[in-house]
A and B are shown apart, each in its own frame.
Chain A
Amino acid sequence: MAGLISGLTSGKLIDVAGKNIWLTEIGTGDPVLYLHGIPDIHGIEAEPMAFHQALARSCRLIAPAHPGCAETTDDETLETMDDVVFHYLRVLDALELDRCAIVGGGIGGWIAAEIAVRYPERVEKLALIGATGLMVPGHPIGDLFWYAQADDGVRYDGLRDLLFAGPRTETGLGMIPDAKDDIEREMLKYKVFRFVSLIGFKPPYLYNPRLRSRLDRYTNPALILSGESDSLVPRVHAEAYRDGFPDARLELIAACGNTLVAEAPEQIAELITAFLAG
């Protein structure tokens, strides 16, 4: 489908209960739902993200944008994670996905985990990439919102440092350039932040205090991926996910931060593909 706004070309719109959902759908095979994080809002380039392409070599990848993000209709009543979970139940129903694998990055990982503990029967396998969502006393998740306010009005060093392996990595500068690169990109970022602000600004801050004690409800296999230099979500959160799920393993990815899908797309796509096939 041709781009609705400039640059938005690698996605399409579907109707779910009267609302538009913007999604990228590529590949064939078993369905895999990908839930995005903050910088990896997809469908903004002419081609799907490298990570999506790599994963789609062996599955049918479906990557919707969250409410209010990209071209997905905003939900004026959205307040809590529960609302987001119900939103995705409708999306899964509309796509006729009774059961599928779910992969989530950052806050998308949090959403994926919330779906899995509530409706374990609908989740074949679960892969979490730098997922927020847990409260681990003494190890807070970094303040994304604070650093989304540019340094000296122009530089996003602080934000990139949280989301990537350092403040000025090539990948980070490419995805979150110093202000302002172009308005469409700024708008995409702004809309993701609006969504995240609704579910994760007011404490609990990017987490659900109850989630950790519910992880045992999801008993299918889980793969937890964490960047060794992740300064947004401390390592102990990935370990807590691993320890909380009955059947989970943790892989640490060297020289990467939180946004593994962009920092090591081939490497983690390979790990996830093997995990899904296993």
Chain B
Amino acid sequence: MHPVKLFCWHFMAYPYLPEDFDEKYDSGWVTVPNALWDREQAKGLYQEYIDQLVYADELGFDGMVLNEHHQNIYGLMPSPNMIAAALTQRTKNGKIVVLGNILPLHLNPLRIAEEYAMLDCMSGGRLIAGFAVGGGPEAFNYDVSSPRARRQFWEAIDLIARTWTEDGPFEHEGPEYPLRYVNAWPRPEQTPHPPIWVPGARSRETMENAAERGYAYFLSSRSHGDQTRQAAQAYAKTMAKYDRTYTPFDFGILLSVYVSETDEQAKIESQEGVWYFLRNCLKGHLRTKGRTLTWGPGIPSASPESWRGFLEQWQFGAKQLGDTEDWEELDERASIIVGSPETVRNKLLALVEKAQAGNLLIQFHFGNMSDELTRKSMRLFTEQVAPALRSESAEIFARDFPEMADKETV
């Protein structure tokens, strides 16, 4: 049987913004003044967040998820590999998913191959290696030309995979990263190499490249609906083109969850953290107010064809997740699922069945949510949501993917 895999994703938001942040500042990204960093309050913050991830491992999550962001309040992990290194020493069972290192931001992909190999060895083969191309904020953070980043990205991934699988030393001819000697020590513990996950925002190019190489696709979207299912189907179809058979474990989605005893209680408890996250952390990213840096002509990473498709659909000025005003609107977006164990279970199951997604990457901590509430929600989730989610999803997948029955899934 193959139940859904449940991962705990921590973004590590900066939780100590002043109350008038939204009035005073037009972005939580790139230009958000770092004078707002409060040294006193921030003492112990990383410890608190790492402890929450350790707690996820103790609760029996299938893994912990980290990612890379720079110069922002949304995610305080310029180097997710450092947090991953800490987790190798503090966790025992769960996969350590770094989703991912943003390759075009790094001088040399060899360094990523080396660090990931170290993490795999240090964790006893528990690394899932994610690679991301980076979006608008990252282009501004590190001055990366967006069209160029796309070219660098796949060359870097291929070089890293080759580094892990081919005996060195060998020469890599480029064109983006010419290297005379590629001969990484250590090599990863897993063979042939750690599973590779690649996030994408439905672009044709990313799906083609990931499917061709047999990597898992992670849908980089915070809202779910018909488009989530369509993305899964598109990926299945793309895999088929390369003679690969789609299973739900080739596809992952990001969800956010808060669980409490009742629907009402869940809303009361999560309200502050959720809206801190929507208003502040998403400002500059997924919020129309201010200046969204995530996509646009200033960071033209998509091909002209993809951009045309986007323009045909997108209503300029339309509300985004961060513009959500009340619970009802939030509910419609199926992005942040808040409620009793029963409510959350039913909603997640419906989504799993519809989207046929096997990897659920779930955010439990929002913005400035307290340690106590975060842990409570995680605990209730594992005790009262996860068991049924696992057993019922296993039945759904057994029914919809019979060919998967005797296969091992990563």
The answer to whether B354 has its CB under 8 Å from any CB of chain A is no
Residues on A with C-beta less than 8 A from B307 are 187, 190
A150 with B291, Cβ < 8 A, contacts A180-B311, A187-B304, A187-B307 known: yes
Interface string of A139-180 (1 = CB under 8 A from B): 000001111111111100000000000000000000000111
**Interface residue ranges of A172-219 to B (CB < 8 Å):** 178-180, 183, 186-187, 189-191, 193-194, 197-198, 201-203, 205
Query: Nearest Cβ distance between residue B283 and chain A, in whole angstroms?
Result: 11
Residues on A with C-beta less than 8 A from B83 are none
**Interface residue ranges of B135-150 to A (CB < 8 Å):** 136, 139-140, 143-148
- Counting chain A CB atoms within 10 Å of each CB, the highest count among B297, B298, B304 belongs to B297
Query: Nearest Cβ distance between residue B189 and chain A, in whole angstroms?
Result: 36
Q: Check B316–A153 contact: CB distance below 8 A.
A: yes
**Interface residue ranges of B91-139 to A (CB < 8 Å):** 136, 139
Complex CA distance for A179 and B318, rounded to whole angstroms: 11
The answer to whether A93 has its CB under 8 Å from any CB of chain B is no
Residues on B with C-beta less than 8 A from A30 are none
Complex CA distance for A76 and B205, rounded to whole angstroms: 14
The answer to whether A79 has its CB under 8 Å from any CB of chain B is yes
Complex CA distance for A79 and B149, rounded to whole angstroms: 11
Contact residue among A79, A179, A186, A201 (Cβ-Cβ distance under 8 Å from B146): A201
Query: Nearest Cβ distance between residue B70 and chain A, in whole angstroms?
Result: 16
Complex CA distance for A244 and B143, rounded to whole angstroms: 28
Residues on B with C-beta less than 8 A from A189 are 297
The answer to whether B317 has its CB under 8 Å from any CB of chain A is yes
- Counting chain A CB atoms within 10 Å of each CB, the highest count among B146, B290, B299, B300 belongs to B300
Q: Check B316–A179 contact: CB distance below 8 A.
A: yes
Residues on B with C-beta less than 8 A from A197 are 145-148, 299-300
Q: Check A202–B148 contact: CB distance below 8 A.
A: yes
Q: Check A151–B291 contact: CB distance below 8 A.
A: yes
Contact residue among B288, B298, B304, B318 (Cβ-Cβ distance under 8 Å from A145): B298
Query: Nearest Cβ distance between residue B300 and chain A, in whole angstroms?
Result: 4
Residues on A with C-beta less than 8 A from B316 are 150, 153-154, 178-180
Complex CA distance for A203 and B145, rounded to whole angstroms: 9
Q: Check A145–B299 contact: CB distance below 8 A.
A: yes
Q: Which residue of B lies closest to A189 (CB)?
A: B297
The answer to whether B213 has its CB under 8 Å from any CB of chain A is no
Residues on B with C-beta less than 8 A from A203 are 143
Complex CA distance for A182 and B146, rounded to whole angstroms: 24
Q: Which residue of A lies closest to B311 (CB)?
A: A183
Query: Nearest Cβ distance between residue B266 and chain A, in whole angstroms?
Result: 31
Q: Check A149–B299 contact: CB distance below 8 A.
A: yes
Complex CA distance for A217 and B317, rounded to whole angstroms: 49
The answer to whether B312 has its CB under 8 Å from any CB of chain A is yes
The answer to whether B308 has its CB under 8 Å from any CB of chain A is yes
Q: Check B311–A198 contact: CB distance below 8 A.
A: no
Query: Nearest Cβ distance between residue B39 and chain A, in whole angstroms?
Result: 29
Q: Check B146–A148 contact: CB distance below 8 A.
A: no
Interface string of B278-293 (1 = CB under 8 A from A): 0000000000111111
Complex A-B: 21 CB contacts under 8 Å: A79-B148, A144-B298, A145-B140, A146-B140, A146-B291, A148-B298, A149-B299, A150-B316, A152-B288, A153-B317, A154-B288, A179-B316, A180-B316, A194-B146, A197-B146, A197-B299, A197-B300, A198-B145, A202-B144, A202-B145, A205-B143
**Supplied contacts A149-B298, A201-B145, 6 more A-B pairs, CB within 8 Å:** A150-B316, A153-B317, A191-B304, A194-B300, A201-B146, A202-B144
Please list the residues of chain A having a beta carbon within 8 angstroms of any beta carbon in chain B: 68, 74, 76-77, 79, 144-154, 178-180, 183, 186-187, 189-191, 193-194, 197-198, 201-203, 205
Q: Which 9 A-B pairs have the closest CB atoms?
A: A148-B298, A153-B288, A179-B316, A145-B298, A154-B317, A201-B145, A194-B300, A149-B296, A149-B298
